[in-house]
Structure 1
Amino acid sequence: MHEVRFSSYRYSDDTLHLEGTYFKGRVQLLHKGGVRTWRVFVWHRLEDAQKGSWVMEGLEPLPFEVYDDLSCQAEGVPALKLWLDPFGFGWEGLEALELEAHRFGQLGKSGVWQTSEWTAFHEVNDGLPLGAGMSLLIKEKPERRYYGLGERTGFLDKKGRTWTNWTTDDPIHYPDADPLYQAHPFLIGLEGDRAWGVYLDETWRTVFDLASAEDHQSIIRTDGPTFDLYLIAGPSPKEVIQRYTALVGRASLPPLWALGYHQCRYSYTHQELALEIAREYRRREIPLDAVWLDIDYMDGFKVFTFSPERFPEPEKLTAALREMGVRTVTIVDPGVKKEEGYLVYEEGRAQQYFIHSYRDEELWGEVWPSPAVWPDFTRPEVREWWGRLHRFYLEHGIAGIWNDMNEPAAFTVFGQEPPKDNRTLPSSARQGNRYHAEVHNLYGYGMCQATYEGLLKFEPSKRPFVLTRSGFAGIQKYAFVWTGDNHSYWEHLEGSIPMLLNLGMSGVPFVGADIGGFSAHADGELLARWTWLGAFYPFMRNHSGKTSRRQEPWVFGPRWESAIREAIRFRYRMLPYLYTLAHETVATGLPPMRAMVLEHPHDPEVSALHDQFMWGSDLLVAPAVRPGQRHRLTYLPQGQWQDFWSGEGYEGPVHLPTATPHDRIPLFQRAGSAIPTTKAEPHTTDAYWETLVWQVSLAPEVRGWVYEDQGEGYEPGYISELEGTYDGYTLRLDFTDRCGQPRQRVEAVIRGVREPQGGHSIHHYDPQTQTLTVDLASGSAEVHW
């Protein structure tokens, strides 16, 4: 190890330049779209100082003041204080004590095959003096908590463990499994009422040791020869996420059908079976928006083909499903079968589009097809070619694409089996002028970019839908994310909550886990509980593996079918609210499914709370996560809350014993909110709600809004608002309808109230449920008690 030291500095061209014997550095204040961030960039003198970003663009430098003590200050951002010998900095209570450089491999070889491929990679990089890897030591504080880092096992707070960013196909998710399929070198720190974020813009293998080895310090490490860190100010966790996503990019608004309920299995092995699944949903009056086809639809596992025996008429299949209101989504893996006469392979080989070995020969191995080759998605011309190939699916009526095995996963390479915990390409493989070790984490990101842009090119009037297993920071620009090969374990049901919440706090909003579990065997109770939880996942898909028990909603008998049907119908009733949250996500980067600490950062009770969450800012969800569970303890933060189902009111903060029946989920509404709902339909059409029912929780001021548009495409949408006042005697509601579409019914529902005595509106009161329904067809209503 060598400490990084600088002996001099100069400020010019909106940049603080640092000079040392072995290292150089740059400090800049960058801005994009009103967001300002400090960039601290250090590299070995012999490296390329012009390193760019794979995921960020359009950042421009701003001037700032540099004082004699190396304090860097500018209006609108927290000051950055540097020291040079050894190099470190202080910012927002974060103290980076020193930066160390080490020769490649001193961190271990977990990112690289320990074979002849590793030996070759080590040899060609051994010429790098010092700086072939760097570690930043951070002073720890007992009260600090950490969030983010993408898809992780474990609880909400990530402190106390070491986390690695190296996209990995790991089908066995033990509680300490790490790494998994996603790589997000982004971290949120929270200390008391102040939050900040750090983003390490390095695509090499990186490690975040968060007070794991020693509780007085944390370490951020990279295997690469540069250290490129962005400091993102709060002061709230929400503001950190908003600023981070402004830099790396935010998700686009998905098509409405993507937010419906989806059914998948590995595999529906022939087209009549896929049709029968959809017909059974319709017969049983269970809503459904998409059926998914796994790898068995292909001809010999060749992507961009259909099996002539099992799926002989794909256009007829997709058309028949579409008549039922059901879309078709197909899996697409990056492994291309190496077969003469196969057009995809022949085109890619002719253009030298596939990854090569360090000996500059076409790298081949095995994934599902054998032998297989892998496209190099770091190259724009390869991405354009891959995107263009998707015209095949669109011409066959496919509505969305599922990118899997894109870590990239490899069962063998050149006949060798990789380590079981690192089933991927050797780090010595060549991608353009880079080694795979440098761009491994980008593989899924590049594949999704190619897919998204290809779909948009051929159907520019439709919003592309892509789902991915692997990704890097900024993946939300191109794809939804699901958490891969989970199991039908209660532990995985519970563990999906903090996993998805931390993905959301890493800027990835549209996420989900396989409902019921992919591997092992579900039972009726587990599937019912998981479907109710999944009704609040931004992405809701039931998916099971080939060797698992079937888990369509009806397979465990009428009792569980009824509970599951009600959960799915509830999801469809809540689509106006979820779609409005999705619209908010596009504007702010905030996820629909939110950790409690996002909405209540000053409440110490929620800083590590992982088994309940917020849906937007107005609904609190507290699922059952244990078999046979009949009650649970729910924490309601400060403020007024109302049971969504009964209307019973509560004042927080309070730990509330809550019943957990199988046919609903504990759900609490913030007082003063108005939640837009509709009636459950068999499938989605557009996002104009002919039936619009506002569930109102009374407070002195009431407000809610709903976003509506065509549900597809890029025509402008409209925000309609419900506003009201309530003084304990009179409720006044005003609905401003801007969508311009006809409605059959507009109502406000108020639960847990006594029978009113009059008013200037038509209303109905149910004394048994203490529920008041108010007609808002005229746009306003008044009720007296």
Structure 2
Amino acid sequence: MTIQTLAKVATLTLLASQAALAQNADRKFTSVAERDGQLEVRTSDGSYFIKPYSAAIIETSFVPQGESADPASHAVVLLPAAVKTTLKQKGGSIEYATAGIKVTITKSPFCIAYAYKGKPLVAEKRGYIHVTDDVVKGSKDIHKGEPRQLEAIEFALDKDEALYGAGERAVGMNRRGYRFTLYNKAHYGYGEHSELMGYTMPVAMSSKMYAIHFDNPQTGYLDFDSGKNNALTYEAIGGRKTYQVIAGDSWEDVVGNYTSLTGKQPLPPRWAFGNFAMRFGYHDEQEARDTVAKFIAEDIPLDAIVFDLFWFGKEIKGTMGNLAWDKDNFPQPERMIADFKDKGVQTVVITEPFVLNTSSRWREAVDNKVLALGPDGQPRTYDFYFGHTGLIDIFSQQGKDWLWGIYKGLHAQGVAGVWGDLGEPEYHPTDVRHATGSADQVHNIYGHQWAGLVADGYQRDFPNERPFILMRSGYSGTQRYGIIPWSGDVNRGWDGLQSQPEISLQMGMQGVGYMHSDLGGFANPVLDDELYQRWLQYGVFQPVFRPHAQEEVPSEPVYREEHTKALAREAIRLRYRLLPYNYTLGFDNNQQGLPLMRPMLYEEPRNAKVRAMSSTYLWGKDFLVTPVLHPGQASADVYFPANSAWFDFYTGEKQSGGTTGTTRAIALSADHVPVYVRAGAFIPMSKVVQTTRDYNTRQIELHYWHDASVQAGSGKLYDDDGLTAQAYEQGKYELLRFTSTLRDKTLSLRVASEVGKQYQRPERGIALSVHNVGAAPSSVRVDGKVAVFAWDQATRLLTVQMPASDQANRSVDIAL
């Protein structure tokens, strides 16, 4: 028997064993037919509709007898392509296949199983079933009272596969063993563990490199084998019985395919990659002006200032819903905003979906039918922390028009970004009625709809501008609206910091690339300088750099003691030096769905020991980062992935990951967390600017980490004006591609420029630094001409100045 035959037998055996575990004896196959680009499989209790979106994405919908199909999806935006499929009937089974995914339907006992390129992925266990919600009366879960019936879809799992997904949680990277509530809910002051937070998603991802997205926003549960019976179960109060299986050859493919299905994140404005001034909150104009002035005086870069709820009211309670500047404390907001803009600082203001009956807009909201209703058809009002309130019906045309009118007015004043807070919604009684459904039916898409309102408004009224939408709640696919989500009101403690890498890594895997934390921690008046320093040092390598906290202890570095301020300045300045690299990460996220923060799973998908790892992660493709998560640490355990050399970003010291990956204790410095760069990596950097308004790529620093083990390397830099929506699609961009080749003792570096049709390539100088050069080169040629260079024996650093040129292609040849 040949190796190929053995492999085929092994695959068939796996499929057979999977089918045996995954079956529903009560469901009987009756017929199959292929029509209109999908397969219809009829059973004794309903019909399955199986539809490919691409070779690696396939959708299955079950419609029980007596029900009709609901075609509406809040998550999916990809149109099903004309995918070539094959249909084969083999006695007791049917195979429906694309070039990638194969669906095998076993007739008796009935079973549906999925494989990708011959590799079994997952199979329905009992498929569509009813289950009893066993939540007891008085519990803290979403449903209080008597048990109720839920509709569920059950899958069979391999006994050793790790699971990820379910949105924003802090339970450990491998989330198997939990039954997660699907009900967006803020968790104030959480620390290292939180099972329910503000941004849940009905998506499961497996270490076998597939994802299942359950295409239904209604409240329920996602059970990651909590019963230890090798079952993955999606449970909901009602709605669609639709899911998509997404596969790929790598994690980059899986997440890229998922974001093709649900939408890619637009590139934010470049200032979003800068530093924010923010606290709870600035009480008046003078406080805000003094803060911005202090950043400039202290030589700490700044790009935005964010106003919490005091912009519209003097008190925390009783004023929510005013949504207009308090003219006593902010007498000339337009002038203040314009003055900030002249300094390169953008203004962002908080808004909430609640209108209190004590606010100045209460009567306006009622008269304009803006608010969600109760069972009696009148605006549903209730008490919560901030006062007696109604809730904007973001699903009604009146609610959308009213709220967008407010945003449009703020835009006219110069406000550059929207902060949407409490968008779970924070308190959402089950008897509230919205234009498109009950509270529990639409609760999980409230933030999604809100972000969509802002994105759609910008596209319609300000089509050339990129929106900035800071929100803590969303749903599958909200990334396509440009949401910049944060991880909520985290405790200002080491326990709060410890959960942050996991949260951002998981959300990036689920398509939400900009999940980040309130740097320094938000909740509780804790003054811990070491914690603050380490959190900001981690923040350099997370998607958005935004310290924020309760005002009793300052969140802004300019108000901290001198040593802490100096370390914060150093971190922020590094953040700005990395703008070319970081902005390019945003471009890759926009084009390919690639997360900015990536788990070690991306690097070593088949290495079981990294499946649960979040302590060391990748920032983009080429940085290896290990945050310092405990007080008083003298060293940190850094994991070095296999098959690559890694260089200390600060000292140049080389580490090897060996052939299997290795963990080493690395001595810590007070001024940074451990950061390493991959051998063969290009890292474009720039000089520090006070604000990204002054950033350009006419002069860049290009760092290359040479190693004899690397025969070829590559990198890139994306550039545009930082403001125009869809600049790349409009041809208003430049893309620099960097390559290296090592042959014999000649290291050749190339820079190639691709310029969009509506863009002018600048004349550019490049300060090239080649790291890990063991001896002075015998010669260096730039664009074919002998060039002057410098080599430092102690640091093993070679530096070459490439003179300014508007050439599309540049070259450096180094004779080592």
Partner of residue 72 from structure 1, selected from 90, 95, 119? 95
Look up the match of 1:648: 653
Within 5 Å, give how 1:109-508 maps onto structure 2: 114=144, 133-191=150-208, 195-299=209-313, 300-338=319-357, 342=360, 345-367=362-384, 370-380=387-397, 382-409=399-426, 424-478=427-481, 479-508=483-512
Look up the match of 2:20: none
Q: Which runs of 5+ in 1 are unaligned?
A: 127-131, 410-423
8 Å CA contact 1:334–1:375 kept in 2: the answer is: yes
Q: Residue 350 of structure 2 aligns to a residue in which SS?
A: strand
8 Å CA contact 2:635–2:667 kept in 1: the answer is: yes
Amino acid at match of 2:581: Y
**Distance (Å, rounded) in 1 between the aligned partners of 2:655 and 2:192:** 35
Amino acid at match of 2:453: A
Look up the match of 2:538: 533
8 Å CA contact 1:111–1:427 kept in 2: the answer is: no
8 Å CA contact 1:151–1:180 kept in 2: the answer is: yes
Cα separation, partners in 2 of 1:143 and 1:47, compared to 1, 3 Å: same
Cα separation, partners in 2 of 1:108 and 1:51, compared to 1, 3 Å: farther
**Distance (Å, rounded) in 2 between the aligned partners of 1:247 and 1:717:** 26
Look up the match of 1:749: 769
- CA deviation digits over 1:232-253, x for unaligned, max 9? 1123222111111111111001
- CA deviation digits over 1:532-553, x for unaligned, max 9? 100111111000014x422321
- CA deviation digits over 1:86-122, x for unaligned, max 9? 75422233132103533775566876564xxx89xx9
**Distance (Å, rounded) in 2 between the aligned partners of 1:381 and 1:35:** 41
Cα separation, partners in 2 of 1:82 and 1:377, compared to 1, 3 Å: farther
How big is the shift at 1:578? 0.7
Look up the match of 1:26: 48
How big is the shift at 1:440? 0.8
Q: Residue 606 of structure 2 aligns to a residue in which SS?
A: coil
| 2:61 is equivalent to residue 41 of structure 1 | yes
**Distance (Å, rounded) in 2 between the aligned partners of 1:679 and 1:209:** 49
**Distance (Å, rounded) in 1 between the aligned partners of 2:290 and 2:88:** 69
8 Å CA contact 1:696–1:702 kept in 2: the answer is: no
Q: RMSD between aligned alpha carbons?
A: 2.5
TM-score normalized by structure 1? 0.90
8 Å CA contact 1:687–1:708 kept in 2: the answer is: no
8 Å CA contact 1:631–1:658 kept in 2: the answer is: yes
- CA deviation digits over 1:476-531, x for unaligned, max 9? 11211100000111122121001100000010011210100001214111111111
How big is the shift at 1:312? 1.7
**Distance (Å, rounded) in 2 between the aligned partners of 1:527 and 1:688:** 31
8 Å CA contact 1:485–1:518 kept in 2: the answer is: yes
**Distance (Å, rounded) in 2 between the aligned partners of 1:112 and 1:602:** 37
Higher mean C-alpha displacement, 446-455 vs 757-766: 757-766
Higher mean C-alpha displacement, 99-108 vs 723-732: 99-108
Aligned length: 748
- CA deviation digits over 1:272-320, x for unaligned, max 9? 1011111111111011111110011114223431112121211121112
**Distance (Å, rounded) in 1 between the aligned partners of 2:428 and 2:39:** 39
**Distance (Å, rounded) in 1 between the aligned partners of 2:88 and 2:134:** 36
**Distance (Å, rounded) in 2 between the aligned partners of 1:745 and 1:214:** 60
| 2:793 is equivalent to residue 767 of structure 1 | yes
Within 5 Å, give how 1:552-567 maps onto structure 2: 552-567=556-571
Look up the match of 2:626: 622
How big is the shift at 1:204? 1.2
Amino acid at match of 2:717: V
8 Å CA contact 2:520–2:547 kept in 1: the answer is: yes
- CA deviation digits over 1:548-606, x for unaligned, max 9? 42232144422221111111000000010011111111111111111111132133332
Cα separation, partners in 2 of 1:522 and 1:727, compared to 1, 3 Å: farther
8 Å CA contact 1:646–1:751 kept in 2: the answer is: no
**Distance (Å, rounded) in 1 between the aligned partners of 2:535 and 2:653:** 26
Q: Residue 133 of structure 1 aligns to a residue in which SS?
A: strand
How big is the shift at 1:183? 1.8
Partner of residue 708 from structure 1, selected from 715, 719, 722? 719
Look up the match of 2:815: 784
Amino acid at match of 1:730: T
How big is the shift at 1:443? 0.6
- CA deviation digits over 1:132-172, x for unaligned, max 9? 62223333323201122221112211112222211012214
Cα separation, partners in 2 of 1:259 and 1:303, compared to 1, 3 Å: farther
| 2:27 is equivalent to residue 5 of structure 1 | yes
8 Å CA contact 2:198–2:473 kept in 1: the answer is: yes
Cα separation, partners in 2 of 1:635 and 1:369, compared to 1, 3 Å: closer
Amino acid at match of 1:323: D
8 Å CA contact 1:383–1:449 kept in 2: the answer is: no
Q: Residue 143 of structure 1 aligns to a residue in which SS?
A: coil
TM-score normalized by structure 2? 0.87
| 2:76 is equivalent to residue 56 of structure 1 | yes
How big is the shift at 1:348? 4.1
**Distance (Å, rounded) in 2 between the aligned partners of 1:684 and 1:384:** 33
- CA deviation digits over 1:395-444, x for unaligned, max 9? 221110111101111xxxxxxxxxxxxxx222232112521111110111
Cα separation, partners in 2 of 1:29 and 1:686, compared to 1, 3 Å: farther
8 Å CA contact 1:336–1:369 kept in 2: the answer is: no
8 Å CA contact 1:150–1:505 kept in 2: the answer is: no
Higher mean C-alpha displacement, 297-306 vs 612-621: 297-306
Partner of residue 660 from structure 1, selected from 643, 665, 668? 668
**Distance (Å, rounded) in 1 between the aligned partners of 2:75 and 2:239:** 19
**Distance (Å, rounded) in 1 between the aligned partners of 2:100 and 2:49:** 14
8 Å CA contact 2:652–2:771 kept in 1: the answer is: yes
Q: Residue 272 of structure 1 aligns to a residue in which SS?
A: helix
**Distance (Å, rounded) in 1 between the aligned partners of 2:300 and 2:674:** 22
| 2:644 is equivalent to residue 635 of structure 1 | no
**Distance (Å, rounded) in 2 between the aligned partners of 1:376 and 1:551:** 34
Q: Which runs of 5+ in 2 are unaligned?
A: 1-23, 314-318, 781-785
Higher mean C-alpha displacement, 360-369 vs 436-445: 360-369
**Distance (Å, rounded) in 2 between the aligned partners of 1:249 and 1:768:** 49
Look up the match of 1:758: 779
How big is the shift at 1:359? 2.8
**Distance (Å, rounded) in 2 between the aligned partners of 1:348 and 1:69:** 62
8 Å CA contact 1:72–1:80 kept in 2: the answer is: yes
Amino acid at match of 2:714: R
Cα separation, partners in 2 of 1:738 and 1:20, compared to 1, 3 Å: closer
**Distance (Å, rounded) in 2 between the aligned partners of 1:59 and 1:12:** 19
Look up the match of 2:18: none
| 2:680 is equivalent to residue 672 of structure 1 | yes
**Distance (Å, rounded) in 1 between the aligned partners of 2:736 and 2:593:** 21
Amino acid at match of 1:78: I
- CA deviation digits over 1:363-382, x for unaligned, max 9? 11245653322122233553
Look up the match of 2:749: 733
